[in-house]
Amino acid sequence: AKEEGRNTTRFFSPQMQARVQAHAEMEAALRQALDEGVFQLFYQPQFCRDGKLVGAEALARWPVEGGRMVSPADFIPVAEDTGLIVPLGGWVLDTACRQLAAWQAQPGTRTLSLAVNVSARQFHQPDFVLQVTSAMQRHGIMPSALKLELTESVILGDIDETVARMAQLRTLGVRFSLDDFGTGYSSLSYLRRLPLDQIKIDQSFVRDMLDNAGSETIVLAILGMSRSLGLEVIAEGVETEAQHAFLLEHGCQRFQGYLLGKPLPLAAWPAHWLDSCAG
């Protein structure tokens, strides 16, 4: 309107207002979903160089009316903003440890590992170490089978605190993977300081590496660097045979992606995945 001249300050534009409202509605719905325990975990398989199953990544799913799933890409950021990632992440950890206990009780699946995503806000909770150790104890699992996936956002805060916390858990046997590697801003000197077991090449580089010289260079650099640092390397987002072959050729050790298997509820896993497990 004409009255709203250049100097009128409106706090929210209609678009912003809609976004704020959507955020508030999602927060309320998330809270209710947590109370009602409707979240699910899907499991995406991870394979080694000779094609055997070595583990899985646990990925949260939020089923809503009509059989639809809200994507974690939509609800995880809201859960992080509101702090609901703390109880949600606690549920994910507990559920993952329960699944590990079931695998460890079976001769054919004893060696499988399970990767769990941990948000910065969850990792920096004062009782995070206790949360992890009590989940492991509650289910009586071998800690070395649990792999915590951290993104570079976790180390943006206090690097000394981060290293100390990781070291504490690593002493217990828990493993760490650096997720979405190459997309953040952390320097290589940080990488050297972090007590890591694995680096995960981000899917954006895997997607482009065969058509884009820059992505190819990054992938090769990550593979070379991981080798010299003695870190295991896994590629995510492997969608084609050509990508798989290229990564194999250049020494990548672990593979995850739609080519090999999409995230699924465990009950929907094809039998041959578990049959291929080393034991």
Residues that bind ligand C2E (CB under 6 A): 44, 59-60, 71-73, 76, 85, 89, 92, 117-119, 179-180, 203, 236-239, 257-258, 263
Query: Minimum CB separation from ligand C2E for residue 238, in Å?
Result: 6
Identify the sign of the CA torsion 141, 147, 149, 152: positive
For residue 72, the partner it binds in ligand C2E, Ca ion, none, with Cβ less than 5 to 8 A by kind, is: ligand C2E
Separation between Cα atoms, residue 98 and residue 223, nearest integer Å: 33
CB of 254 to ligand C2E, least distance (A): 13
Stretch that binds Ca ion, among 28-36, 112-120, 217-225, 244-252 (CB under 5 A): 112-120
Q: Smallest gap, in angstroms, from Cβ of residue 242 to ligand C2E?
A: 13
Give the end-to-end CA distance of the chain in Å, rounded to a whole number: 70
| Rounded Cα distance, 209 and 267, in Å | 34
Q: What is the chain's Cα-based Rg?
A: 20
For position 80 contacting Ca ion by CB under 5 A, the verdict is: no
Residue 119 in the binding site for Ca ion (CB under 5 A): no
Q: Which is nearer to Ca ion, 117 or 226 (CB)?
A: 117
**Of ligand C2E, Ca ion, none, which one sits near residue 261, judging by CB under 5 to 8 A according to partner kind?**
none
> Alpha-carbon distance 28 to 100, whole Å?
31
Closest by CA to 45, choosing from 29, 59, 64, is 59
